[in-house]
C-alpha cells in the first residue's frame, strides 16, 4: 500500500511540473502529462477516496492540500477534457505505449462511469457512450482470436499498453515441472483462481482440453495429442486437470504422482502441489512477458458502453451478444446488472479492473468462498488505509474509517 501510494502521488507531482507554464512544454507534451496525471490521480481517488495535491512552487515546509473526492474528480476530468484535443489521433499500431486521443477518451469513459462513487451524483451515461463511440471512430474494434490480443503484435483492441518485462519471473506462477528452454528461474507453483469463477465460463466442469465445449476465453490445456513447441505443453487461460510437457508426456509432482490441477482448494493454507486452477493470459511461449502489457482495451470500452446503455434504460442485449458471439459463448436472451458484471469478469480477468467493477456494482463487500465473515458487508473495506508514513508527514490527511 505504501509503495503504491508513493508511486502514484509521485507521478501526479511530476506530471504537474510538466503541466505548469514554467516548463514551456509543447501542447502535445502538456496533454500527455495531463493524461498521466489524470490516470495516476484516478487510482489515488479510487483506492483512498481523496487525493493529496502539491503545487510546483510549494516549499518543503508546505503540507500538500488534500482534495475531496469531488474535487479530485473535477481535476481529473478537467485534465482529460483539456488533453483530448491536443493528443495525437492514433488507431491500432505499434506505438500505443504513449497517450493518444483514444486513451484519453477511454479514461474519460472509465472515470465518468464510476463518478457516482466520487461525486454522489448519477453519471452522465450518454457522455460515456459518446467517449466510446469516439474510440471506435479512431479505428479500434473488437477482434477475434482472444489470446492473440495478448501477444506482442499490433491488434485492433489494444488502446494503451506499457513496455514491461519480468524476465524468468514469468515462471513463478508455474509448477516447477512445467519447463521450457528459457525457464531458468524454476517455478514457484503459486497463484490460483476460485472454482466459482471458473464456473462462470461455459464448458466442461472439471477439464479444459480442446473439445470440452468451452468458450474461447476459458482457453485450453494441451494434452498428448497437441502439446508441442508452439505451446510448450502449457495451456492458455485456465489450467485444470492433467498437465503435460512439450512432448505430450504427462507431468508428475515431486512424489511421482500425476500433476492434475484440481478445481477446488482448501483455502489459503493446507494446499498440495495440485490444488487450484492456474491462469495464463500472457503465454510464456511469447517470451519472458512480452513488452505489451495491456492497460486499456477496446473490449472493456465496448462493455462500458453496454453498461451505460443498460443504466439509461436502453436494451444492451445486442451489444453484449456481439462480444459473446466473437468469443464463442452462447447468446443472452436479455441483459441484467449481474450479467454485465459477469461478462466483464469473463472478458477482462487479470486486467486490473475487477476491484473497480465490484465497487461500482456494489458487490465488493459481498461474500465469496474464502472471505472472512467479519469482512462481509464491511463498507470501510471499500477504501484502503492511508499509509502511516503519509499521515505523519502531512497533518492535512485523515485516516479512512475502520483503520
Main-chain dihedrals φ then ψ at residue 170, nearest 5 degrees? -60, -20
Q: 182: domain range? A: 172-290
| pLDDT(291) > 90 | no
Domain membership flag for residue 369:
no
Q: What is the pLDDT of residue 190?
A: 76
Q: What is the pLDDT of residue 290?
A: 64
Q: What is the pLDDT of residue 288?
A: 61
Is residue 174 within 8 A of residue 276, CB to CB? The reply is no
Q: What is the pLDDT of residue 161?
A: 96
Domain membership flag for residue 362:
no
Question: What does the alpha-carbon distance between residue 260 and residue 253 come to, in Å, rounded to a whole number?
Answer: 9
pLDDT digits (tens, 9 = 90+) for 352-393: 999 999 999 999 999 998 899 999 999 999 999 999 999 999
- Would you list the DSSP string of 379-402? GGGGSPPPPHHHHHH-TT--PPTT
Q: What is the pLDDT of residue 178?
A: 86
pTM: 0.96
Q: What is the pLDDT of residue 182?
A: 63
Question: What does the alpha-carbon distance between residue 48 and residue 56 come to, in Å, rounded to a whole number?
Answer: 23
279/302 same-domain check = no
155/217 same-domain check = no
Q: Compute how many other C-beta atoms are within 10 angstroms of the C-beta atom of residue 272.
A: 12
Mean pLDDT of all residues in 74-83: 99
186/271 same-domain check = yes
Is residue 157 within 8 A of residue 149, CB to CB? The reply is yes
Quote the strand ranges of 281-370, DSSP E. Answer: 293-297
Question: What does the alpha-carbon distance between residue 295 and residue 198 come to, in Å, rounded to a whole number?
Answer: 23
151/296 same-domain check = yes
Count of structural domains within the chain: 3
| Band of residue 289 on the pLDDT scale cut at 50, 70, 90 | low
369-383: b or e for each residue (b if 16 or more CB lie within 10 Å)?
eeeeeeeeeeeeebb
Domain limit, last residue, from 290, 308, 325 = 290
138/230 same-domain check = no
| Band of residue 272 on the pLDDT scale cut at 50, 70, 90 | confident
306/158 same-domain check = yes
Q: What is the pLDDT of residue 166?
A: 65
pLDDT digits (tens, 9 = 90+) for 81-99: 999 999 999 999 998 999 9
277 DSSP 8-state letter: B
341/261 same-domain check = no
10/49 same-domain check = yes
| Band of residue 192 on the pLDDT scale cut at 50, 70, 90 | very high
CATH code, 141: 1.25.40.10
Mean pLDDT of all residues in 302-317: 99
Is residue 239 within 8 A of residue 221, CB to CB? The reply is yes
Domain membership flag for residue 263:
yes
Domain membership flag for residue 374:
no
| pLDDT(171) > 90 | no
Amino acid at each position: 500500500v505504501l509503495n503504491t501510494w508513493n508511486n502514484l502521488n509521485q507521478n501526479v507531482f511530476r506530471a504537474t511540473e510538466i503541466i505548469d507554464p514554467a516548463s514551456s512544454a509543447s501542447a502535445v507534451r502538456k496533454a500527455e502529462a495531463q493524461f498521466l496525471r489524470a490516470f495516476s490521480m484516478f487510482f489515488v481517488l479510487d483506492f483512498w477516496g481523496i487525493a493529496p495535491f502539491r503545487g510546483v512552487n510549494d516549499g518543503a515546509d508546505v503540507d500538500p492540500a488534500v482534495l475531496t473526492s469531488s474535487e479530485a474528480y473535477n481535476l481529473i476530468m478537467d485534465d482529460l477534457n483539456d488533453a483530448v484535443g491536443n493528443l495525437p489521433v492514433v488507431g491500432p499500431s505499434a506505438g500505443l505505449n504513449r497517450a493518444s486521443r483514444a486513451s484519453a477518451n477511454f479514461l474519460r469513459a472509465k472515470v465518468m462511469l464510476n463518478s457516482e462513487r466520487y461525486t454522489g451524483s448519477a453519471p452522465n451515461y450518454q457522455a460515456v457512450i459518446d467517449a466510446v463511440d469516439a474510440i471506435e471512430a479512431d479505428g479500434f474494434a473488437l477482434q477475434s482470436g482472444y489470446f492473440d490480443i495478448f501477444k506482442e503484435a499490433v491488434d485492433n483492441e489494444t488502446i494503451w499498453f506499457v513496455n514491461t518485462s519480468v524476465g524468468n519471473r514469468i515462471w513463478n506462477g508455474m509448477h516447477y515441472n512445467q519447463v521450457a528452454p528459457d525457464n531458468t528461474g524454476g517455478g514457484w507453483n503459486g497463484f490460483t483462481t476460485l472454482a466459482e469463477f471458473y464456473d462462470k465460463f461455459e464448458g466442461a466442469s472439471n477439464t479444459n482440453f480442446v473439445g470440452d465445449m468451452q468458450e474461447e476465453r476459458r482457453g485450453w490445456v494441451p494434452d498428448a495429442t497437441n502439446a508441442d513447441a508452439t505451446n510448450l505443453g502449457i495451456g492458455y487461460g485456465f489450467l485444470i486437470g492433467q498437465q503435460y510437457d512439450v512432448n505430450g508426456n504427462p507431468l508428475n509432482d515431486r512424489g511421482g504422482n500425476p500433476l492434475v490441477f484440481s478445481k477446488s482448494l482448501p483455502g489459503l493454507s493446507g494446499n498440495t502441489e495440485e490444488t487450484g486452477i492456474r491462469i495464463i493470459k500472457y503465454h510464456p511461449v511469447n517470451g519472458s512477458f512480452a513488452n505489451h502489457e495491456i492497460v486499456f482495451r477496446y473490449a472493456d470500452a465496448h462493455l462500458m458502453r453496454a453498461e451505460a446503455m443498460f443504466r439509461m434504460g436502453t436494451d444492451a442485449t445486442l451489444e453484449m451478444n456481439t462480444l459473446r458471439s466473437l468469443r464463442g459463448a452462447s447468446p443472452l436472451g436479455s441483459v441484467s446488472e449481474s450479467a454485465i458484471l459477469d461478462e466483464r469478469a469473463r472478458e477482462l480477468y487479470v486486467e486490473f479492473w475487477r476491484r473497480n467493477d465490484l465497487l461500482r456494482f456494489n458487490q465488493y463487500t459481498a461474500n465469496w468462498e474464502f472471505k472472512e465473515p467479519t469482512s462481509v458487508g464491511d463498507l470501510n473495506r471499500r477504501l484502503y488505509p492511508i499509509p502511516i508514513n503519509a499521515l505523519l508527514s502531512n497533518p492535512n490527511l485523515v485516516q479512512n474509517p475502520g483503520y
